[in-house]
Amino acid sequence: MNTLLSLYKEASFIRAFELHIAVASEAGHVPGLVHLCSGAELVEVAICRSLTGPRDQVTGSHRSHGLALAMGADPVAVAAEILGRKGGLSKGRGGTQHLIAPERGFLASNGIVGAQVPVAAGAALTAKLMAAGGIAATFFGDGAANQGAVLETMNLAVSLNLPLLFVMENNGLGQSTSADYASGGADLCARAAAFGMKAERMDGYKGARAIKQSAEIIDYVRMSGKPAFIEANVPRLSGHYFGEKADYLAHHEADDPLEDLAESLDSGVAERVRLEAEQAAHDAVSDALNMGEAAPEKSAEVVL
Ligand SMILES: Cc1ncc(C[n+]2csc(CCOP(=O)(O)OP(=O)(O)O)c2C)c(N)n1
């Protein structure tokens, strides 16, 4: 399968997975709110496919279902975790915002905005001290980019020479606040460069270019042992959380990177791949739903 087609296949699976999670949420099967990654799949798959070192580690935000899947976590176990089932990645105790699949290099996602970033610095420091060629990557939003812990981690990564890739997915919104307002119109890529690291923009609508750029910058981090930063522009194709009814969304209608990608492929092939992805996502979420068993009640014995 050619590179663009396999990117489309993986990204379409994540898109369909999120739609099925949305359906499950609407039916009341998901404890709490879910933050869907729809719009960011292409960037996440493009970057994760270059994180192939056996010791590479990734951390993500509250919007990380797709990231866990892009790193190869078992879709049924991801769905079961989101649904709070015993068969989930962490027995249903973490839920949608706390996914973990360390055996696949997915160290953790985190519901505290920006908190996943210093965790990745710890993974990068470990990789550096073990000198076994591993690197870390951390995904966060434009809102998180203004968190003190994130800015401190950028400084630390430069001063300690950590093999850490910062990936800021700029969807223009932190909840309902525009990125321009929250950052005073600052150029966030230039701000990262000012810490003293290589910093680039990635077009989240251009699949082939994103794959090439990801491979090059990950190679740079691995070979140099230094940090780097990517600002990827992505649309947020859903509300802050699924089901949110908000007027501001009307002002943020965006093109869909997956539709753009499908247009660059043979239409019959793209449609077949999309339908297969849809079926696979349906099966994964259904299997998780059919597990039936809820997570055990939280108690001291369970936690210990
Ligand atoms: C420390 C902290 N402050 C506030 C929140 C509430 N909150 C959850 S997501 C979010 C917006 C984050 O925006 P961004 O980092 O751009 O990520 P996006 O949701 O756009 O993917 C906020 C304010 C939180 N979870 N943690």
171 Cβ inside 6 Å of ligand 1:
yes
C-alpha 6/C-alpha 8 separation (Å) is 5
| Secondary-structure breakdown of the chain: helix, strand, coil percentages, each rounded to the nearest 5 | 50, 15, 40
The pLDDT, as a whole number, for residue 250 is 65
pLDDT band (50, 70, 90) for residue 143? very high
Is residue 297 included in any domain, yes or no?
Answer: no
Best probe residue, ligand 1, of 18, 175, 244 (max atoms within 8 Å of C-beta): 175
pLDDT band (50, 70, 90) for residue 187? very high
Sheet (strand 57-60) strand order: 106-109, 57-60, 136-141, 164-170, 228-233, 198-203
Residues 6+ away with beta carbon under 8 Å from 237 = 36, 38, 39, 254, 256
Q: What is the dihedral of CA 60, 65, 68, 72, to 10 degrees?
A: -160
Is residue 150 included in any domain, yes or no?
Answer: yes
Amino acid at 193: A
Percentage of the chain with pLDDT > 90? 89
The pLDDT, as a whole number, for residue 251 is 61
Is residue 296 included in any domain, yes or no?
Answer: no
Amino acid at 290: N
Q: Whose CA is nearest to atom 25 of ligand 1?
A: 112
C-alpha 161/C-alpha 115 separation (Å) is 20
CA 223 to chain centre: 24
Q: Does the structure show a pLDDT above 60 at 91?
A: yes
Q: Does the structure show a pLDDT above 90 at 193?
A: yes
The pLDDT, as a whole number, for residue 246 is 76
Range of the domain at 76: 3-291
Q: Are 248 and 176 in contact (CB under 8 A)?
A: yes
142 Cβ inside 6 Å of ligand 1:
yes
Q: Does the structure show a pLDDT above 90 at 276?
A: yes
Q: Does the structure show a pLDDT above 70 at 303?
A: no
Query: Token pair for residue 253?
Result: 């209608």
Amino acid at 276: E
Burial (CB count within 10 angstroms: exposed 0-12, middle 13-18, buried 19+), residue 200: middle
> Can you give the CATH number for the domain in which 100 is found?
3.40.50.970
Kindly state the average pLDDT of the residues 218-232.
98
pLDDT tens, residue by residue, 244-264? 987 777 666 678 999 999 999
Amino acid at 157: A
C-alpha 35/C-alpha 175 separation (Å) is 10
Q: Are 34 and 22 in contact (CB under 8 A)?
A: yes
Kindly state the average pLDDT of the residues 212-228.
98
Kindly state the average pLDDT of the residues 213-225.
98
239 Cβ inside 6 Å of ligand 1:
no
Is residue 298 included in any domain, yes or no?
Answer: no
* Phi, psi at 216, each rounded to 5°: -70, -45
pLDDT band (50, 70, 90) for residue 302? low
The pLDDT, as a whole number, for residue 299 is 53
Kindly state the average pLDDT of the residues 134-155.
98
**Range in 51-55, 95-99, 273-277 with the lowest mean pLDDT:** 51-55
Atom index in ligand 1 nearest the CA of residue 179 equals 16
pTM across the whole model = 0.96
Beta strand 177-178 with 173-174: parallel, antiparallel or unpaired?
antiparallel
Atom index in ligand 1 nearest the CA of residue 174 equals 13
C-alpha 155/C-alpha 243 separation (Å) is 38
pLDDT tens, residue by residue, 24-70? 999 999 999 999 999 999 999 999 999 998 899 999 999 999 999 99
The pLDDT, as a whole number, for residue 254 is 76
Strands (E), 143-274: 164-170, 173-174, 177-178, 198-203, 228-233
The pLDDT, as a whole number, for residue 304 is 45
- Report how far ligand 1's centroid is from the alpha carbon of 173 (Å): 9
Query: Any idea what DSSP says for residue 145?
Result: G
Is residue 136 included in any domain, yes or no?
Answer: yes
Is residue 234 included in any domain, yes or no?
Answer: yes
Q: Does the structure show a pLDDT above 70 at 1?
A: no
Amino acid at 56: D
**Range in 83-87, 100-104, 243-247 with the lowest mean pLDDT:** 243-247
Q: What is the mean pLDDT of the chain?
A: 94
| H or E element in which residue 78 lies | helix 75-82
Is residue 225 included in any domain, yes or no?
Answer: yes
C-alpha 117/C-alpha 3 separation (Å) is 29
C-alpha 201/C-alpha 103 separation (Å) is 30
How many domains does the chain fold into? 1
Q: Are 37 and 78 in contact (CB under 8 A)?
A: no
